[in-house]
Structure 1
Amino acid sequence: MSLLTVQNLQQHFPVRGGLLRRSVASCKAVDGVSFSLAAGETLGLVGESGCGKTTLGKSIVRLLKPTGGSVHFEGQDITTASMGQLRPTRRHMQMIFQDPAESLNPRHTVRDILEEPFIVQKLGSKEERRAWVADLLDKVGLPTTASDRFPFEFSGGQRQRIGIARAIALKPKLIVCDEPVSALDVSVQSQVLNLLLDLQRQMGLSYLFIAHGLSVVKHMSDRVAVMYLGKIVELAPAETLYRRPLHAYTRALLDAIPVPDPALRRPRSLLQGDVPSPINPPAGCAFGHRMGHPRWKDSVGMDLSLKEITPGHWVQPCPCCTGE
C-alpha cells in the first residue's frame, strides 16, 4: 500500500469582483493532479513559478482544504477531515518551507519553536522536551546553545536547519519540502541537501521535494513529476526522465539546465509565448497553445489524462507535445 495517494486533486480559488464581491471566476491553481508516493521514496516536483507546486504541497498536508479530488494518507481519506480529526495525522505529515526567515516566529527562541510540536501533541514533560530539543539540534548539526537564541541571530542555512529540526520533531513519515534550498547560498545548498538525505536514511522518511532546479531534483529524487499550469504532464523515474523525456515542456526544462563549461554550446528549445492564465486556461493542451503549435487544435476535446508509455513512465498524450 502506498504511503500517500493523491487522486484528481483540485485547488480552485474564487476570483471576486463587482460591488458585492461575488465570485465571478476561479483560479485553477491545481487542476486534477494524481500520483502516489511509497514509504521511503522521494518524488521530485518541478515546474515554472506559478504552476501550482506549492499550492499542491499545502493541499496535501491540509494547510489548504482541497476543492476537489482526494488525498489518502496510509489508506485514510484526509481530504475533508476536521482539524480535530487531522491532529493525530499531522504528527506524520510535516512541511519544510522555502524561506526560513518567514516561517520561523522571530519572537520565539529556538527552544520555543522546537518544543511547540510536542506541546501541541501533548507529549512529554518539560524536562523530556528539553532533552528532545537538544537531540534535534544535534541531528541537524547545530550546537545545544542555539536553543536560547532567536532565529534572526542565525544565517540562512542555520535557520533552514532549525526549520528541518521542527519538521522532524515528531518523527513523521512524510515531509513536503517546498523549495528548501532556493533561498540559500549555493555553497550552503549542498550541505542542506546532504542533511536531508542523511535524515531520510536514518528515519525512513518519504519526501515530496518541490524545486525549480532540475539538477537538484535529479540528485534527490527517485521519481520526478513535471507540472505545468496546475497539471502533471510527465511522471517517470528520475534516470528515465533525464535520459528520455517525452513531453516538449520537460525537454525545454532540461535544455535550460546550465552546463558548467563556457566553451560548450548545445542546441536549446527556447520557450516562446507567455504562460496562460490559470483563471482562464485554454482548451486542450495548455503548453501547445502557448507555443502556437500547429497541432494544438487536435488536442481540444481529447482526454489528456496521464498515459503509461513504458512501465513507470507516464505522460500527457498530447499530439502537439509528444508527437503521438
Structure 2
Amino acid sequence: MSHLLEVKKLKMHFPVKGGIMMRQVGAVKAVDDVSFFVRPGETLGLVGESGCGKSTLGKCLVRLYEPTDGEILLGETDITRMTNKALRPLRKNIQMMFQDPAESLNSRFSVRQIVREPLDIQQIGSKKERDAKVDELLEKVGLPAAAADKFPVEFSGGQRQRIGVARAIALNPKLLVLDEPVSALDVSVQSQVLNLLVDLQKELNMAYIFIAHDLAVVKHISDRVAVMYLGKIVELASSETIYQNPRHAYTKALLSAIPHADPKHQGKRIRLEGDVPSPIDPPAGSAFGHRINHPRYEETVGLDMPLVEIAPDHWVAADPCSLSDEDWEKAKQLV
C-alpha cells in the first residue's frame, strides 16, 4: 500500500538570539530527526509529554512552520519547501484541527463565514453552492443549519469544536491533523466528539494524525501509535502492540500512568526521576538516560540511536538506557 504521507528526517529548530547584536546563540530543537509514514484511511496516534514537540510537528506537516531540514511527502509530492502559492491547491488534501475551539475560531466571523472560508479560498462552486455546502457540513457534524448565522460565542465548547470539525472537512481532505482536539472539552463531551471523528473517518475515508497526551483516548481511536520524547520518536508500533508489549522504558512509564477503571487494580506506577532535558541544550547522549541518570548513559554520548525494527512493524530507538538487555542486544545488530 502506498503512503499518503511520508516524513523523512524532519527537523524544526527555532533560533535563540541574545547579546547586544541579538545574534543567534542557540536553537530550540523542537523536532529533531523524525521519520514516519501514514497510510490512507488509518489513524496514527502521536503521544508524549507537554513540550515533546507533538504540536510543532503537526504544524510543520501542514506547513504553518517551514521545517529546518528534512522532507514531507504528500503522496508523491514534496511539499517541504513549496511556496504558499504552489501549496494552495494541495491544501485541500491536508487540513488541521486545533486544540482550543475558543481560540481557533474567529469571534468576528459568523459560523457560516468560518466554515465557508476554505471553500471561498479554493473558489469551489458559486456562493449559493458554498452556502448550501455549509448547511450540509453543519448537519453532518450534528449542528442545525440554523447555527450558520450565529457566532462562536453563542456555542458551548463541544459545539465550537464541532464547528472546527466542519471547517476542517469542508474540502474533503485525505489527511486531517488533529492537535489535541478533545483535551479542552469536558469528559462527557469528549466521547461525543471522538465518536463523531470516528464516524466521519469511515464515511469520508480520511486518514488522521491524532496528537494527544491522553493515552486512553489514543488507544480508543488509533491504528498505530508513535511515542515522542524531546523532539524524537522513540517507539512506533500498532496500537495493540504498544499497549500490550511496549519496549521503550519511556513508553512503559507513560502507560503505567493511565488510570484504571477497576479501583482494585494494583498496577505498578513507574515514576520517572529527574526533569525533562531542555530542547535548547539537549544531552549529548540518550536524553532519557540522562533524565533518569542511567548507569549506561556515558556510552551513549555521540552514539547514533536510530529507530530499528525490533519486531515486525514494531520500531524502537536503539538506546541501551531505555531497552532491556535482550532488546538492546537485538537492536545493536540492526543499527
User: Which category of TM-score, normalised to the shorter sequence, fits these structures?
Assistant: over 0.9
Aligned to 1:318: 319
Per-residue deviation, residues 127-157 of structure 1 (Å, max 9, x unmatched): 1011000000011000011001000100000
Q: TM-score, normalised by structure 2?
A: 0.96
Count of aligned positions = 324
Specify the SS of the correspondent of 1:108.
coil
Deviation at 1:124, TM superposition (A): 1.1
* Structure 2: gaps (5+ residues): 329-335
Once the two structures are superposed, the pairs formed by residues 93-242 of structure 1 within 5 Å of their partners are: 93-242=94-243
Aligned to 1:15: 16
Once the two structures are superposed, the pairs formed by residues 221-300 of structure 1 within 5 Å of their partners are: 221-300=222-301
Per-residue deviation, residues 251-276 of structure 1 (Å, max 9, x unmatched): 00000001123333221110110000
Specify the SS of the correspondent of 1:253.
helix
CA–CA distance in structure 2, aligned partners of residues 201 and 265 of structure 1: 37
CA–CA distance in structure 1, aligned partners of residues 271 and 101 of structure 2: 33
Per-residue deviation, residues 188-245 of structure 1 (Å, max 9, x unmatched): 0000000000000000000000001111101110000000000000000000111100
Per-residue deviation, residues 100-126 of structure 1 (Å, max 9, x unmatched): 000000000000001111110111111
CA–CA distance in structure 2, aligned partners of residues 132 and 41 of structure 1: 26
CA–CA distance in structure 1, aligned partners of residues 94 and 126 of structure 2: 23
Specify the SS of the correspondent of 1:91.
helix
Aligned to 1:87: 88
Deviation at 1:18, TM superposition (A): 1.0
Deviation at 1:278, TM superposition (A): 0.1
Specify the SS of the correspondent of 2:267.
coil
Q: TM-score, normalised by structure 1?
A: 0.99
CA–CA distance in structure 2, aligned partners of residues 316 and 295 of structure 1: 15
User: Which amino acid counterpart does residue 237 of structure 1 have in structure 2?
Assistant: S
Specify the SS of the correspondent of 1:304.
coil
Moved more, 128-137 or 254-263: 254-263
CA–CA distance in structure 2, aligned partners of residues 204 and 71 of structure 1: 21
* Moved >6 Å (runs of 4+): none
Aligned to 1:69: 70
CA–CA distance in structure 1, aligned partners of residues 114 and 34 of structure 2: 33
- The percentage of counterpart residues that share the same residue type is 63
Per-residue deviation, residues 82-101 of structure 1 (Å, max 9, x unmatched): 00010011011100100000
Deviation at 1:296, TM superposition (A): 1.2
Aligned to 1:42: 43
CA–CA distance in structure 1, aligned partners of residues 162 and 154 of structure 2: 13
Q: Give the superposed CA RMSD.
A: 0.7
Per-residue deviation, residues 164-195 of structure 1 (Å, max 9, x unmatched): 00000000000000000000000000000000
Per-residue deviation, residues 268-303 of structure 1 (Å, max 9, x unmatched): 110110000000000111011000011111222221
User: Which amino acid counterpart does residue 147 of structure 1 have in structure 2?
Assistant: A
Aligned to 1:305: 306
Aligned to 2:7: 6
Aligned to 1:60: 61
CA–CA distance in structure 1, aligned partners of residues 33 and 319 of structure 2: 16
* Structure 1: gaps (5+ residues): none
Specify the SS of the correspondent of 1:163.
helix
CA–CA distance in structure 1, aligned partners of residues 36 and 111 of structure 2: 36
Deviation at 1:7, TM superposition (A): 0.2
User: Which amino acid counterpart does residue 12 of structure 1 have in structure 2?
Assistant: H
User: Which amino acid counterpart does residue 65 of structure 2 have in structure 1?
Assistant: L
CA–CA distance in structure 1, aligned partners of residues 14 and 263 of structure 2: 44
